[in-house]
Structure 1
Amino acid sequence: MKKFAVILAGCGVFDGSEIHEATLTLLAIQKKGSEYQCFAPNIDQHHVINHITGEEMQQTRNVLIESARIARGNIKDISELNVDDYDGIIFPGGFGVAKNLSDFAFKGAEIAVLPSVSETILAFWKAKKPIGALCISPAIIAKVIPNATLTIGSDAGTKDAIEKMGAKHKQTTHGEVVTDAENKIVTTPCYMLDANIAQIEEGANNLVDQIHQL
C-alpha cells in the first residue's frame, strides 16, 4: 500500500487550501487503495478573508489549525514529515499556497518559499519520489526544482512568472495533467481554469493515477 504526504495551507480558497481540490485529492488517493497523511506549517496565515464578501477580516488564524478542519484533526506539523515514510507528496492549490507557503501572490517570479516547504520538496525530489501539484501549487515547485516542466493551465501572467523562474510551462485544459518524468513531477490546472467541481475531481483523479504510475 502506497502512502502519500498531502501538504495543506489553511482552509478556504482565498486564504488557505482550496477545499474541493484538497478533499478530492484525498478521495482520489483512497480510491487507488493508498493512504495519506496531511501536513501543514505551524505558522500564522498571511491574512484572513471573508469568503462571502472577499474582504480582509481583522483576525489571526493559524495555518496548521485551519488545515485541521479539512483533515478532520488528523494532521501533523510539516516539521515532522520524514520523506522515508512516504511514497510521494501532493500539494492541493488555493491562495494559501501563494500567501502562506510562499509569497508568490505578492512577488510573482521573485517568490520566496517557506523554508520548511522548500526543504520538504527538495527532500522528495532528491529521493526520486513523485511530487504532485494542483492549481497554483506548481509555482512553488518551479521555484524549488530547477528546469521543471509543469502546468497551471493557461493564465498568461502566472505562466510568465513560472518561466522566469526557469521552468517550462505546457498549456492544458480541464482534467489534463503534465508529467515531468525526469523530475517525477505531475501537475494539473484545476481552479486556475474556470472549472466546476466535477472537472476538479477529474483532474485530481488523473494526477493521482499518474503519480501511482511513477
Structure 2
Amino acid sequence: MKKIAVILSGCGVFDGSEIHEAVLTLLHIEKLGAQYQCFAPNIDQMHVINHLTGEVDKQVSRNVLIESARIARGEIKDVKELNAQEFDALILPGGFGAAKNLCDFATQGANSIMNKHVENACKQFSELRKPAAYICIAPAIIGHVYPKGVLMTIGTDIDTAEQINQLGAKHVNCDVSDFIYDETFNVISTPAYMLANSIIEANTSIENTISKVFEIMSNDRG
C-alpha cells in the first residue's frame, strides 16, 4: 500500500491549514487506497485569527503541531521526523498557515524563508524525485524547494504570481478544476480555494490533483 506524507500548518483558513482542503486531501488519499501520515512543525503560529470577526487575537498563542492535531484526530508527528524514504509522495494543503507558519511568504513575499524542518522535509522529496503536490497558497513554497524555473500555479492572482516568480519558480495561470504538473521535477500544484467559490469546486481541484499523484506513483514508482 502506498504511503503519503501530508504536512499541515495549523487549523483554520486564516492562520493555519484550510480545513476543507486538508480533510478533502485525506479523504481522497484514502479513497484511492493509500495510507497517509500527517506532520506539522512544532512551533508557535505567526498569530491567531478570530475566524468569526477576522481580527488578530493578540492575547492568544497557539502551537502549529497541536492545532494541526485537531484535523488529524491526534494522529500526527513533528515534521522534523519526516523521512521521505518511508513515503511514496508528499502533499501540502493550503490555508494561510502555509504562507505564515511553514514559511513567511504572507509577509515577506519574494524575500521569504521557510521553516528549516519543513524545508528539509520538502527538499527530501524533491531530491528523490518523488511526487509532491502543493495546494492553494502552499505552492508559494515551491520556489524555495525546487530548482529555478520549476512550473507551478496559485491560480490567476497577478501580484502573488509576481512574488513567486521572483523566488525562482515560473507561475502558470490555471483554472480551479485543473492543475500544473512539472514533469521534470515531479511536482504538482492546483489553485483550490485561491479560486474556488464553493467546497464542490475546491473538491474538484483537489480530487484531480491527488488522482494525478496516484497516476505518477503508478507509472513511475511501480
Fold match (TM-score > 0.5): yes
Q: State the alpha-carbon separation in 1 of the partners of residues 202 and 3 from structure 2.
A: 22
TM-score by length of 2: 0.95
How many residues are aligned here?
214
Question: 3-state DSSP class of the match of 1:65?
Answer: helix
Question: 3-state DSSP class of the match of 2:30?
Answer: helix
Question: 3-state DSSP class of the match of 2:162?
Answer: helix
Q: Give 2:197's aligned residue.
A: 195
Question: 3-state DSSP class of the match of 1:37?
Answer: strand
Question: 3-state DSSP class of the match of 1:175?
Answer: coil
The amino acid that maps onto 2:95 is G
Asked if the contact 1:174–1:195 (Cα under 8 Å) also holds between the matched residues in 2, the reply is: no
The amino acid that maps onto 2:61 is T
Q: Give 2:206's aligned residue.
A: 204
Q: Give 1:40's aligned residue.
A: 40
Q: Give 1:16's aligned residue.
A: 16
The amino acid that maps onto 1:71 is A
Aligned-residue offset at 1:166: 1.4
Q: Give 2:25's aligned residue.
A: 25
2:186 alignment partner, one of 184, 187, 204: 184
Render the CA deviation track for 1:15-60: whole Å, top value 9, x for unaligned: 0000000000000101111110000000000110000100011101
Asked if the contact 1:11–1:17 (Cα under 8 Å) also holds between the matched residues in 2, the reply is: yes
Render the CA deviation track for 1:178-197: whole Å, top value 9, x for unaligned: 10011000110011114210
Q: Give 1:54's aligned residue.
A: 54
Q: State the alpha-carbon separation in 2 of the partners of residues 41 and 4 from structure 1.
A: 17
Q: State the alpha-carbon separation in 2 of the partners of residues 102 and 73 from structure 1.
A: 23
Question: 3-state DSSP class of the match of 1:36?
Answer: strand
Q: State the alpha-carbon separation in 2 of the partners of residues 176 and 125 from structure 1.
A: 22
Aligned-residue offset at 1:212: 1.1
Asked if the contact 2:6–2:39 (Cα under 8 Å) also holds between the matched residues in 1, the reply is: yes
Q: State the alpha-carbon separation in 1 of the partners of residues 2 and 177 from structure 2.
A: 23
Question: 3-state DSSP class of the match of 1:6?
Answer: strand
Q: State the alpha-carbon separation in 2 of the partners of residues 24 and 97 from structure 1.
A: 16
Q: Give 1:91's aligned residue.
A: 92
Q: State the alpha-carbon separation in 1 of the partners of residues 204 and 109 from structure 2.
A: 28
Pairwise CA RMSD: 0.8
Q: Any runs of at least 4 consecutive aligned residues in structure 1 with deviations exceeding 2 A, and if so which? A: none
Q: State the alpha-carbon separation in 2 of the partners of residues 141 and 19 from structure 1.
A: 21
Asked if the contact 2:80–2:118 (Cα under 8 Å) also holds between the matched residues in 1, the reply is: no
- Same amino acid, percent of matched pairs: 52
Question: 3-state DSSP class of the match of 1:48?
Answer: coil
Q: State the alpha-carbon separation in 1 of the partners of residues 14 and 99 from structure 2.
A: 10
Q: State the alpha-carbon separation in 2 of the partners of residues 80 and 166 from structure 1.
A: 28
The amino acid that maps onto 2:156 is S
Render the CA deviation track for 1:119-151: whole Å, top value 9, x for unaligned: 111111111101100000000112221121011
- Give ranges in structure 2 of 5+ residues lacking alignment: 217-222
